Amino acid sequence: MHIDLTGRTALVTGSTQGIGAAIATGLARAGARVGISGRTKERVEEAIARIGGEAPGADLVPVAADVTTEEGARQVADALPQVDILVNNLGIFGPVDPLDISDEEWRRYFEVNVLAAVRLIRQYLPGMTERGWGRIQNIASDSAVVIPAEMIHYGMSKTALLAVTRGFAKQAAGSGVTVNSVIAGPTHTGGVEDFVYGLVDRDLPWDEAQRVFMREHRPQSLLQRLIEPEEIANMVVYLASDQASATTGGALRVDGGYVDSILP
């Protein structure tokens, strides 16, 4: 399948590292102009240099702003007034004993993982519907369906993101704009390495630590390994394409068979 996104402008939040950077790279390789989003100018510039090396000739736009705030969203709109493909990837996670999660942390997870995405959808969806074409994708998690005992607040935020996706897909019905969630399974990123080593012996080599983590903490994975960020990006690039025009309102799994369900 040949995917050509030439002429499309994309914004990927949280795209200076990890899954976001892989998604940005995939979209750029497909020909899209891509906004690289991060909190600081320095991190964004570093990411642009790295992504540009992996996608030679890419048209990359620096977007240094805190998208979890209203002011940050306005700064994003100044940098990219028109967006055809919006990928809400930004998210935070971390293990906390359920009884120790403070009110402030509950609110912070909702603000960062849910409301930031809602704000950008409100900002860009009207223009997409006016033009009769658009792609909105919210990067969710297996934790939205299989709530982890050590991260209830994170699971809550990702469950909420699935509801947000379905609701906005209904708002965009018949407009030529699709709205979907991508349910990412346990994925190999720098942050996840820290998370894994918080649960298993830090003296173990990475390959062994990963196997122990999957066996002891994610035994239902059919893949039996962590997913690579590029594997998530492949789904996102497809959903951003014309070929995915009949897929909307969905929660597409790239979870390595982690969720024990035949749907979605």
SS (H, E, C) 73-118: HHHHHHHCCCCCEEEECCCCCCCCCHHHCCHHHHHHHHHHHHHHHH
Element (H, E) at 140: strand 134-141
The pLDDT of 89-102, averaged and rounded, is 95
Q: At 112, is the pLDDT very low, low, confident or very high (cuts 50, 70, 90)?
A: very high
Could you give phi then psi for residue 195, rounded to 5 degrees? -60, -45
User: What is the per-residue pLDDT for 212?
Assistant: 94
Q: At 126, is the pLDDT very low, low, confident or very high (cuts 50, 70, 90)?
A: very high
The pLDDT of 115-124, averaged and rounded, is 98
The pLDDT of 125-146, averaged and rounded, is 98
Q: Give the list of residues 6+ apart from residue 157 with CB closer than 8 angstroms, or none.
A: 91, 109, 110, 112, 113, 114
Q: At 192, is the pLDDT very low, low, confident or very high (cuts 50, 70, 90)?
A: confident
User: What is the per-residue pLDDT for 195?
Assistant: 83
User: What is the per-residue pLDDT for 129?
Assistant: 98
Element (H, E) at 158: helix 152-171
User: What is the per-residue pLDDT for 190?
Assistant: 83
pLDDT one-digit tens code per residue, 239-262? 999 999 999 999 999 999 999 988
User: What is the per-residue pLDDT for 15?
Assistant: 98
pLDDT one-digit tens code per residue, 53-66? 999 999 999 999 99
Element (H, E) at 125: helix 116-131
- CA–CA distance, 37 with 91 (Å, rounded to integer): 13
Q: At 264, is the pLDDT very low, low, confident or very high (cuts 50, 70, 90)?
A: confident
Contact between 65 and 39 under an 8 Å Cβ cutoff? The reply is: yes
Task: Give the 3-state secondary structure percentages of the chain, helix then strand then coil, rounded to 5.
Answer: 45, 15, 35
Domains of the chain, first to last:
9-187+228-254 (3.40.50.720), 193-226 (no CATH)
- CA–CA distance, 201 with 221 (Å, rounded to integer): 21
CA 177 to chain centre: 18
- CA–CA distance, 166 with 257 (Å, rounded to integer): 22
pLDDT one-digit tens code per residue, 9-40? 999 999 999 999 999 999 999 999 999 999 99
pLDDT one-digit tens code per residue, 203-233? 999 999 999 999 998 899 999 889 999 999 9
What are the C-alpha distances in Å from 57 to residues 105, 136, 178, 225, 240?
41, 25, 28, 33, 20
**And the tokens for 115?**
């409301």
pLDDT one-digit tens code per residue, 71-93? 999 999 999 999 999 999 999 99
User: What is the per-residue pLDDT for 140?
Assistant: 98
Give me the active site residues, please: 154
Query: What mean pLDDT value characterizes the chain?
Result: 96
User: What is the per-residue pLDDT for 165?
Assistant: 98
